[in-house]
Copies of this chain bind each other. A is one copy, B any other.
Amino acid sequence: MPRKTPDQLRDVLRDFRRDQVIDVARRLFGERGSADISMEEIATEAGVARSTVYVYFANRDELLRACLERMHTQLLDGLAAAWEEGAEPEDRLRTLFEGVFALIDDSPAFFRLAVTAEDAVAVTADAVQRGASPSTPGLALIGLNIARLIQDLYVEGVAAGRFRSLDPATATALIGQMLFGAMSIRAGDPAPGPRNEAAAVVCDFVLHGLAAGQSPH
């Protein structure tokens, strides 16, 4: 957040307007596709002139990017809030799923849009391995940060003898894939079931897959 403390009312207003544009854009992008929304519509809905939008964001793409970044921080904040309480790896996994599902439920269509944006889908464990340069422009961080959470959670579970021992990178990738798949399907589901329940089902399945004990050959 490279932003000085806005002690001037002017700066506060500036930030407020910018945030408002992002909020409106996120909503509209989520309701219909990105292609069906004109800058004009966003501006009008946000109570701002079209030319003003271009003061804050150079492109339509940059506006979209800003929306995705907001989604990202929103997710991580929500996750961090509920993270500490359950130290058990199982509970943390459930927290992760529930947090992500909450985000999806908030604006389902927008998630689908986020997927299309390049590098958004880097939940690969390799990505974690080859050191996610924070300089990576923008969105890969979404996947990367979550991948870190998953990996920490997994190695902890293994250390506690609760999970079977796999290559951490592989395990992270598998959990990440399951998470991503569950997100995608839920985002596309016109009538998704209750959030806790859905999260619990997926979570249990993953835990089964990770459970210590010998496989049936």
A135 partner residues in chain B, CB cutoff 8 A: none
- A19-27, A46-54, A68-76, A115-123 - interface stretch: A115-123
- The complex is assembled from copies of this chain, and their number is 2
Chain B residues contacting A187 (CB-CB under 8 Å) are 121
Which residues in window 189-217 of A have CB below 8 A to B? 189, 201-202, 204-213, 215-216
Closest chain B CB from A200 CB (angstroms): 11
Q: Which of A7-15, A98-106, A168-176 lies at the interface?
A: A168-176
Task: Tell whether A138 is near chain B: CB-to-CB under 8 Å.
Answer: no
From A80-88, A148-156, A177-185, the one touching the partner chain is A177-185
A121 touches B184 (CB 8 A): yes
Residues on B with C-beta less than 8 A from A208 are: 208-211, 215
Q: How far is the CA of A121 from the CA of B116 in the complex (A)?
A: 14
In whole angstroms, how far apart are the Cα atoms of A112 and B122 in the complex? Answer: 13
| Cβ-defined contact, A206 with B209, below 8 A | yes
Q: Is the CB of A184 within 8 A of B181?
A: yes
In the complex, how many angstroms separate the beta carbon of A30 from the nearest chain B beta carbon? 13
> Is residue A188 contacting chain B, with contact meaning CB distance below 8 A?
yes
Q: How far does the alpha carbon of A33 sit from the alpha carbon of B33 in the complex, in Å?
A: 14
Contact of A205 among B33, B181, B184, B209 (CB under 8 A): B209
Closest to A192 in B: B124
Q: Would you call B173 and A185 a contact (CB within 8 A)?
A: yes
What would be 21 A-B contacts, judged by CB atoms less than 8 Å apart? A35-B35, A112-B115, A112-B116, A112-B121, A113-B116, A119-B188, A124-B185, A124-B188, A124-B189, A126-B189, A174-B202, A177-B184, A177-B185, A178-B178, A179-B181, A181-B182, A184-B184, A205-B209, A208-B209, A209-B209, A211-B216
Give chain A's interface residues, CB within 8 Å of chain B: 33, 35, 112-113, 115-116, 119-124, 126, 162, 170, 173-174, 176-182, 184-185, 187-189, 201-202, 204-213, 215-216
